[in-house]
């Protein structure tokens, strides 16, 4: 069993009830394989932490950018609290060492792993809030998220836009053309299809992307296209 007192020290949070941190790191899948463990999974804490995180980040952005409108602030907030950003925070603080997962889930990689990371960070925020209140949770978010994710870089480089929007903006700027997406192939059974789409500028295919939906495949194609073009 991981040492959660050591983890709390790493997080710079002195818990009154260390079992809250342990629960925050307990994935539902672990309990499915360890029914006699006497633990609770982290989904309720995740629900609470998500709300606390949104309020703290909203307040931070409201004060930092007094001249920005609601739409811009909403986009910046989404960039700060999305799966990618929270997973980056999870890796920064070494969450993998402390998450309790089933054997199957522990082998997950890519986006599936990122989702587990993000959910765990939200659950940890919920545990800090329950244990010590709003100010402690806000301080944790400031130290572990707002100092790790560079919001100024996000705003300056427009990385708050999704990949498809960024590629369209750059393509129109550089070529005067709007990218198009075409399905190249579909594989797998109907209940678990993998779509591969190409992104084109004019008649030229720039990159391919695959995903469980056409929307996901388009985003992956746009991400690769941005790399290919150096945009």
Q: Is 122 a catalytic residue?
A: yes
**The domain boundary residue, chosen from 136, 156, 176:** 156
Q: Which domain holds residue 193?
A: 163-229
Distance, in Å, from the CA atom of 78 to the CA atom of 57, rounded to the nearest integer, reads: 10
Q: What is the pLDDT of residue 78?
A: 87
Looking up residue 52, the CATH number of its domain turns out to be: 1.10.1520.10
One domain for residues 46 and 126: yes
Q: How is 7-32 classified by DSSP, letter by letter? A: HHHHHT---SSHHHHHHHTB-HHHHH
Last residue of one domain, picked from the residues 156, 185, 214: 156
Q: Are residues 113 and 171 in the same domain?
A: no
Which of 46, 105, 119, 122 is the catalytic position? 122
Q: pTM score, two decimals?
A: 0.73
Query: Choosing from 46, 50, 131, 218, which is the catalytic residue?
Result: 50
Residues 92 and 169 in one domain: no
Based on the fold, state whether residues 107 and 15 are members of the same structural domain: yes
Q: Check whether residue 33 and residue 107 sit in a common domain.
A: yes
Is residue 195 domain-shared with residue 178, that is, in the same domain? yes
216, 187: one domain: yes
* Listed residues 135, 156, 177: the one ending a domain: 156
Q: Does residue 54 carry a catalytic annotation?
A: no
Contact 22, 104 (CB under 8 A): no
pLDDT means per 10 residues, the chain with 231 residues, are 94 95 94 83 97 97 94 89 91 94 74 88 98 96 92 79 84 94 93 92 95 90 93 84
Do 173 and 95 belong together in one domain? no
Tell which residue, 204, 205, 209, 214, has the closest CA to residue 224.
209
Structure tokens at 150: 């560079």
Task: Give the alpha-carbon dihedral of 97, 78, 158, 148, to 10 degrees.
Answer: -30
Residues 101 and 184 in one domain: no
User: Which DSSP symbol is given to 100?
Assistant: B
The whole-angstrom distance between residue 45's C-alpha and the CA centroid of its chain comes to: 17
Q: Please check whether residues 88 and 28 belong to one and the same domain.
A: yes
175 and 214 housed in the same domain: yes
Q: What is the pLDDT of residue 108?
A: 66
What is the model's pLDDT at position 19?
96
Q: Are residues 194 and 80 in the same domain?
A: no
Looking at the structure of the chain, the number of domains it has is: 2
Integer CA distances (angstroms), 218 to 21, 174, 222, in order:
38, 20, 6
């Amino acid at each position: 069993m991981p040492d959660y007192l050591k983890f709390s020290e790493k997080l710079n949070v002195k818990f009154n009830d260390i079992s809250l941190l342990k629960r925050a790191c307990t994935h539902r899948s672990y309990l499915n394989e360890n029914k006699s463990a006497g633990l609770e999974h982290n989904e309720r804490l995740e629900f609470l932490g998500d709300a606390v995180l949104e309020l703290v980040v909203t307040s931070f952005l409201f004060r930092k950018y007094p001249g920005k409108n609601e739409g811009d602030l909403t986009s910046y907030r989404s960039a700060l609290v999305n799966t990618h950003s929270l997973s980056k925070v999870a890796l920064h603080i070494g969450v993998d060492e402390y998450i309790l997962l089933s054997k199957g889930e522990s082998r997950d990689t890519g986006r599936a792993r990122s989702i587990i990371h993000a959910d765990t960070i939200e659950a940890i925020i919920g545990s800090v809030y329950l244990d010590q209140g709003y100010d402690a949770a806000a301080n944790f978010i400031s130290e572990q998220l707002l100092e790790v994710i560079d919001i100024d870089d996000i705003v300056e480089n427009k990385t708050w836009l999704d990949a498809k929007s960024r590629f369209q903006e750059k393509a129109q700027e550089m070529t005067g053309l709007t990218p198009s997406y075409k399905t190249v192939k579909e594989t797998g059974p109907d209940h678990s299809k993998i779509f591969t789409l190409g992104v084109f500028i004019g008649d030229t295919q720039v990159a391919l992307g695959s995903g469980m939906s056409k929307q996901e495949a388009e985003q992956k194609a746009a991400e690769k296209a941005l790399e290919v073009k150096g945009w």
